[in-house]
Amino acid sequence: MSTEKFKGKTVLITGGGSGIGRAISLRFAKEGANVHILELNTASAVEVTEVIQATGGMATAHTGDVRNQPDVLTVVRQIEKIDILVNNAGIAHIGNVEQTSEEDFDRVYQVNIKGAYNMLYAVIPLMKASGGGVILNMASIAALVGLTDRFAYSTSKGAIAAMTLSIARDYLHHGIRCNSISPARVHTPFVDGFIARNYPGREKEMIDALSKSQPIGRMAAPEEVAGLASYLCSDEASFITGNDYPIDGGFVNLNN
């Protein structure tokens, strides 16, 4: 059943065409938002917007690369007014520092850190001009605990956590709230594809192993992350800013 939680609100979601971003796009549209998806993958963005529109929601797909500031500025200027920004676009890398080439490190930095910066740089002036807004950044438990073989990824998500605090402090008196979410493992098509490519014939075994690595005994569903995102971006959370919210099945505090 749809709600009117975000009626009259415009949300821009990066990487909103797949995985967690897709779930957030669908949730916000269901709750009345005018959803704009910024994606490098045009087909996935269009697919999500068509699903939203088919159920009576409002959605627009924009092709663009968060690494490219002119791309970002062009899209943001087209939208004109943005009430909520969800910085969700991101990529992963597996390896310790010795297994992380300069090219690998730069690739993760460009998407996960510079991409978030480009979005903030473009959107915050619009929010200031309209009297406020909400920003939600996608961090990770990798910013909170030591994960094996996640050097570049952990570095980037640590930057997102610090960026969240900086934005929350600098724009508090402009009516802009900024928080972050730190998921543990989330069962997305990306996870299934990674396992299929790297562990052919062992898919069930690997899914079970990943599930059991969470104290709660399973991975999160993208829709669960979307539910937390919806709350933090809504007026129900109007007293919350400058905080990070792990959604981790107990991984950070109970995994010992």
Measured in degrees and rounded to the nearest 5, phi and psi for residue 48 equal -70, -40
From residue 175, alpha-carbon distances to 85, 144, 240, 253, 255 in Å are: 14, 28, 12, 33, 37
Q: What is the DSSP letter of 109?
A: I
Question: Which is the catalytic residue, given 109, 117, 121, 153?
Answer: 153
Residue in the block written with tokens 């107990």: 250
Other beta carbons within 10 Å of 21: 29
**Which amino acid is present at 126?**
L
Q: What is d(CA 151, CA 140) in angstroms, rounded to the nearest whole number?
A: 13
| Amino acid at residue number 198 | N
Task: Give the C-alpha separation, 182 to 21, whole Å.
Answer: 14
Q: Cα 184 to the chain's mean position, in Å?
A: 13
117 catalytic residue (yes or no): no
Burial of 122 (0-12, 13-18, 19+ CB in 10 A): buried
Catalytic residue positions?
153
